[in-house]
Amino acid sequence: MARKLLTKPRKTASQERSRATVDALFEATARILVKEGFDKASTNRIAEVAGVSVGSLYQYFPSKEALVAAVIKRHQHKIMHTVRGELAEVLAQPVEKAIRKLVAVAVKSHRVDPRLHRVLAEQIPRVGELEKLETFNRENYTLFRTYLESHRDELRVDDLELASFVCVTSIEALTHNAVLHYSKTFSDETMEALIDEAAYLVTGYLMGSRKNEAGSLSDQRHAGLHSPS
């Protein structure tokens, strides 16, 4: 019979000293995950790198899975702190600007400690956090659908539920792969061009040929950079 994962913390650190211990455990867990991998992240190894006793670790976390789940949660909070204000700006913008902003925000969110982000994304199913991720994704679809609803008259798509899934999933897949797997080969200019092209792709899907006639955003930006003075 499979062992049930214990992924909830035993208690929350309330005093400054205990918070310092938990922070050290978080940092040690993140470091080991990035440099050595999930399988090497035993509770003994985490405690050793954090400079605390295994007993202290078990006061707060029942397993390494609980620690990894907590690190995932902390990382997600960092991302939301980074992008929350920018996402609020999207609601008041026209479709073309809003889509480009969403792509740019997605790139920015993946650039929050990208090496850790990639490792944590791989471990989400292993530590029982998949359901929370799916809930988070559904919230994103709902927010995007609400935005599309307010611009329905400008869109060629009829099924806004499906359109939200297509757009959010496409943006996430493009930015995830670009930042986490190609950041070393993509220059800043290439990344900006990717943002433009992804925005053009999604906008064209939502609004149809009316936008396609103008040419891609990166073509327009490139022409502007090289136009005669």
182 against 14, higher pLDDT: 182
Select from 182, 171, 177, 181 the least CA-distant residue to 206. Answer: 171
Domains in the chain (CATH in brackets) are 16-65 (1.10.10.60), 71-226 (1.10.357.10)
Of 142, 202, 194, 217, the residue nearest 167 (C-alpha): 202
pLDDT of residue 219: 53
222, pLDDT greater than 60: no
Q: What are phi and psi of 10, to 5 degrees?
A: -75, -40
Contact present, 123 and 72 (Cβ < 8 Å): yes
- Mean pLDDT across the stretch 142-170? 93
End-to-end CA distance of the chain: 73
SS3 51: coil
Please report, for residues 22, 104, 161, 190, the alpha-carbon distance to residue 109 in angstroms, rounded to integers and kept in the order given: 24, 9, 24, 18
User: Is the pLDDT confidence value at 216 over 50?
Assistant: no
Q: State the average pLDDT over residues 30-37.
A: 93
Q: Contact at 8 Å (CB) between 65 and 128?
A: yes
